[in-house]
Structure 1
């Protein structure tokens, strides 16, 4: 039997994950000489400090109890870091680069031109965001199709249809029997490596509908660091 001294446990920091609605929620826990569990969300990251020798189930109970607030704060963080309609020069982050948004109330039709997004003013932030994602989905659909074709050839997997749309709880999904794949438009905020992981993930579902051991073994062939990318992807919220 191995014993760990309290001095070694003090200020020990660990990274852990738990499952929530099919996704992994990552958090960092630090053990300290204190009486209660304290949960904070800082810059989208869930940070917990807990008394020494606190069991995992007790920490996870606190997280699940506050999950709605955590997700809300994370979503606000990711939204504030990927676009801004309130500044004097509105922008949206595409592939980790800021794209300028021109808002003009005289425009009758929105468009993506010369690496800029031209939009009419809807005078409603929620509607403005929805229209922006609609423009992005239309403009980048062929890009997603092309990237899926490239990976499909590498993986020797055929598909019939690709769709790009805004989703609330998924980064993508696959209908294996219909050979259809859909991607969340918000993937455009990430770099190519993370987007490629999602494409590989959804294409693999055509062969393996469930997240079986065979599924993950196949994903790993084409994306050896998928675990790291999955953590980065799911830790941002949607």
Structure 2
């Protein structure tokens, strides 16, 4: 999909474009100018590219794919401040778009979620603390994901066999159609239930349509008419 955005002057042209990567859409803005080389930047989690006039799409996409791991890393760093904070007197994490307090206690032997608070031991290492947090969330909310997937599978008349919830680096979810297995990224818990429902519908639809064909999107739209809007909100944050 290519959408014309603006013609600032005869010296530059700006477009918004979408690139498919591992079943997800990576959106970027490209500005064509009088310059010699392609320049890629990630600004506040958004991909910005400037390129010489008449640069073919394949050449731009080649640069993006070459740097995709760096792009994802920078986007991840950008969203950290908006979904959790351990560097405050009252640490918190955003669940279903609401801030939930995290109580860190070095005397705890077992983590738990109780009274709308997350209790976990102190690992004295932020990376490990974050990793353990997502592990706690995945275990606690797995049945929630299973329940919502069952609800939508009944509405859509689609059978599935297994649901897993785990941390992923470059996908919001994936489906193995032949095995009838679906997995969801634990980070989906940071979003609203409406957005999570879109991802569930998306992955269930892959059981019928493995690829992102026209039939696939027509089927998604039947159960999620605003999927384009929700997809944009989801992918605009980075993973």
Deviates more, 1:65-74 or 1:30-39: 30-39
Deviation per CA, 1:5-56, whole angstroms, max 9, x where unpaired?
x975544331111233443221112334555443221110011233444433
Q: Are 2:102 and 2:118, in contact at CA under 8 Å, matched by a contact in 1?
A: yes
Q: Which residue of 1 aligns with 2:99?
A: 98
Shift of the 7–188 alpha-carbon distance from structure 1 to 2, 3 Å rule, reads closer
Q: Distance in 2 between matches of 1:138 and 1:7?
A: 50
Q: Are 1:37 and 1:59, in contact at CA under 8 Å, matched by a contact in 2?
A: yes
Q: Are 1:172 and 1:183, in contact at CA under 8 Å, matched by a contact in 2?
A: yes
- Local SS of the residue matching 1:40: strand
Give the 5 Å matches for 1:52-131: 52-131=53-132
Q: Distance in 2 between matches of 1:80 and 1:48?
A: 24
- Local SS of the residue matching 2:136: helix
- Local SS of the residue matching 2:78: helix
Q: Distance in 2 between matches of 1:51 and 1:212?
A: 32
Q: Distance in 1 between matches of 2:110 and 2:16?
A: 47
Shift of the 212–49 alpha-carbon distance from structure 1 to 2, 3 Å rule, reads closer
- Local SS of the residue matching 2:64: helix
**Superposition RMSD in Å:** 2.4
Q: Which residue of 1 aligns with 2:238?
A: 237
Deviation per CA, 1:45-90, whole angstroms, max 9, x where unpaired?
0112334444333433433343332222112112332112122221
Aligned length: 233
Q: Which residue of 2 aligns with 1:39?
A: 40
Shift of the 109–19 alpha-carbon distance from structure 1 to 2, 3 Å rule, reads same
Shift of the 170–70 alpha-carbon distance from structure 1 to 2, 3 Å rule, reads closer
Give the TM-score taking structure 1 as reference length: 0.86
Q: Which residue of 1 aligns with 2:220?
A: 219
Deviation per CA, 1:96-145, whole angstroms, max 9, x where unpaired?
11111010001111110111101110112222112111211122122212
Q: Are 1:24 and 1:234, in contact at CA under 8 Å, matched by a contact in 2?
A: yes
Q: Are 2:15 and 2:30, in contact at CA under 8 Å, matched by a contact in 1?
A: yes
Give the drift of 1:149.
Answer: 2.0
Q: Which consecutive unaligned segments of at least 5 residues does structure 1 have?
A: 1-5
Q: Which residue of 1 aligns with 2:4?
A: none
